[in-house]
Structure 1
């Protein structure tokens, strides 16, 4: 038995990859689906985009279309859909929910992790400039923020009210956000940051 958001639970958090890009968590009895926005040019270039509002590229649009088809094929419906305010997540959500009756809730807490001084930088450039310190930061970014940014722990703290708001949902919930946000959600729900 563990306690998540003040609720005692017994082994109710399980996780499954449903399809490429869609992660299913069982939070209490509620299915919680996480999907990341489709690809952007910065993703392709291995450039840290953080909160820079980059649009989907052609591959990103195709990925969102594939997700829409997958959700329809599985006949998945959602009692709530919550999305990051960044355009790449909003556009992904618009495409995957096309034709559905869902209202999309935009929540600032789902903004991508703030990467501070690393935002907009190419991964290869940072690795060259920082040497082994860059790879060390990548391994410890759950607790070590980039200069001027946030750690995954900081993001987990920020998203707690979102998780609190869905804990009593009886239907499936879809969260469309970012890699750093999804890492934080999974860490928070599995109590990775508990002492």
Structure 2
């Protein structure tokens, strides 16, 4: 029997609007982000996607999105600390337009920790271990999970299922409240 796992990125946040790298900085949802979360909840309900549990990052932008989805669909909700966004060290708060391409290039340096942040290698270990655990739970408990998290986590999540070049990896993106399906 096929089993699936779903991942989505939080609704629009204040720093998304301001064009800043968020990382582990806890920035709130905008009114648009809240509306996106309600739309996501409606989309899930209408799609007939079978979800048994919503699991989210501890950062408020993801937690608030997850709470809306879970409440509107009558689903259990749990926090997973490993779904927190990557710590981008010196790039936290970095304004995209002032330094075009700099952060994109830094994401290709897998062992670099951004001067005090978390390297891609460490992030990969964290996320790949979590996916392995969720796969095991999915098989044992016959459950399907929706993970509500962040762009960097979704990028790493995607790399677990698909082989990519460094360029493809650093360019992989997920829109706010976009849902991606993966098959175990």
Name the Cα RMSD after superposition. Answer: 2.2
Deviations 1:70-126 (A, max 9, x none): 011112232232110001101001111223332212111111011001112212233
The answer on 1:54 being equivalent to 2:27 is yes
TM-score, with structure 2 as normaliser:
0.77
Superposition deviation, residue 133 in structure 1? 4.9
TM-score, with structure 1 as normaliser:
0.73
After the TM superposition, list the runs of 4 or more consecutive aligned residues in structure 1 that deviate by more than 3 angstroms: 132-135, 141-145
Assess if the C-alpha contact under 8 Å between 1:117 and 1:146 holds in 2.
yes
Assess if the C-alpha contact under 8 Å between 2:52 and 2:76 holds in 1.
no
1:160 alignment partner in structure 2: 128
> What 5-or-longer segments of structure 2 have no aligned partner?
166-184
Q: Which is higher, the Rg of structure 1 or of structure 2?
A: 1
| Cα distance in structure 1, aligned partners of 2:72 and 2:105 | 45
Assess if the C-alpha contact under 8 Å between 2:6 and 2:146 holds in 1.
yes
Q: Which has the higher contact order (CA 8 A, sep 6+)?
A: 2
Select the structure that is richer in helix.
Answer: 2
1:189 to 161, 165, 169: 161
2:4 alignment partner in structure 1: 31
Select the structure that is richer in strand.
Answer: 1
